[in-house]
Amino acid sequence: MDSEIQLISEGDGLAVIGDPKAVKEFLLSEGLWSSSKDIGQRLKSVLGTGAVVAQAGSEIAANSVRWLKLTKESAHLVSKNGLREATKTGRPTGVVLGKKGGQIGTFVEFVKGPRSRLNPAMLSGVAGIMAQAALQQSMAEITAYLARIDEKVDDVIRAQMNQVLARMDGADLIIGRAMTVRDHQVGRIDEVTWSTVQDTAGKIGDTQSYALRELDGLAKKMERKSIGDLAKTAKEAESKVQMWLFVLARCFQLQDAFDVLELDRVLDVSPDDLDGHRRGLKADRQERLDAISQVTEYLIGRMDAAAHRANTKLLWHPTTSPTVVHSSNNVGTDVHDFHGLLGIDSGRQSWEARRWMDAAAEARDKALENAGPAAAGIAVVSVATVLKVLQDRERKAE
């Protein structure tokens, strides 16, 4: 009998379902086995309780279920095989057929059309578990990011950061406790535990809004400044932007954990509403990402403008102008890394601080061009004198 591999996508990830041996060989043939994770036990515990559909437990029990985050490497399975939207669920799905023997590399034929081995109710349950897997993957990535940033910040900034994060200490403790209870209840959230958690999202949202206001304020401080003041403001932004990005990442980590718990609760008490609730959480997450993108892109725009202005004023500010450019680049790198962490598309321009001699030579050339033939000799002497003075200043600064 031919081996069949069921593929299901819900936007952020891809589920691969089928005979354990066939699933492993298929993922190995695509070079994706090591990046996949088992969600079969979690799925069986949910579907086997009758929460989604009674007959689902036996259907899933004999199969392996692996989940992949949709990255450039894994997304090619969707584009190559052309998943089709199922009529009843609207979810991209399909079946890959393998030749007899199930050897690596034999999965070459994709069944055209929205064929699925799972009924709509089961697909809804799979999508819910996939959404949780995506959130938990995001939480793990944010944990690694927070550890990297925490090593870089100095004691002063860390103290300020901790003061802000202290506003969420209660929410942090309650959500952490609920996640521990969830682990011991095989992914279920009882009514008592949920009652302690459901009000924590407000504290997370308040802290996120506060951090965004602070970033917006830093961006506005970069406007209409002298180069001297601009250098001080850019240096301040360099450290504080990193702090507020840390706070925003922590907010996202806690909100992702909260959403995992919320999906558990819906799966348990209102499974028919699971698809709509999952889509609502995804839309809410995108709105939060859009708000962050708007503020951080504005900040980068102000920093880039400051770097450009500093480069044009290099002759008059040979020591402070490069500071502005350096700080702008550091802020741009931090924001770019943060965007990558959360999956926000962004482009950034890295500025190179102009060399003072290049700026001086350009000023000389412009002076000669504007002087005209009669005054060219005078212009050369005048600019050459200025260049000599500024060269001496630069040597002393070094």
Q: How many CB atoms lie within 10 A of CB 50?
A: 12
- Give the per-residue pLDDT at 394: 47
Average model confidence (pLDDT) across the chain: 75
d(CA 236, CA 222): 10
- Give the per-residue pLDDT at 78: 65
d(CA 310, CA 322): 7
DSSP state of 32: -
DSSP secondary structure string for all residues of 88-100: TT--EEEEEEE-T
Q: What pTM did the predictor assign?
A: 0.76
As given in the structure block, the two tokens for residue 276 are 């709509």
Q: Cα 326 from chain centroid?
A: 24
Residue ranges in the chain whose pLDDT is less than 70? 1-3, 46-62, 77-121, 186-187, 224-228, 310-322, 346-398
Distances in whole angstroms, Cα of residue 186 to Cα of each of 41, 253, 277, 350: 9, 21, 21, 48
- Give the per-residue pLDDT at 187: 67
DSSP secondary structure string for all residues of 306-338: HHHHHHHTTTT-TTHHHHHHHHHHHHHHHHHHH
Residues 6+ apart with CB under 8 A from 193: 177, 178, 181, 182
DSSP state of 270: -
Q: How many CA within 13 A on the CB side of residue 231?
A: 13
In the chain, the amino acid numbered 161 is: M
Residue indicated by tokens 């699933």: 23
Closest CA to 46 of 191, 263, 280: 263
User: pLDDT tens digits, residue range 361-391?
Assistant: 444 445 444 545 544 444 444 445 555 555 5
DSSP state of 354: P
Distances in whole angstroms, Cα of residue 371 to Cα of each of 106, 343, 385: 77, 54, 16
Ranges of each domain in the chain: 3-122, 153-342, 356-398
d(CA 189, CA 186): 9
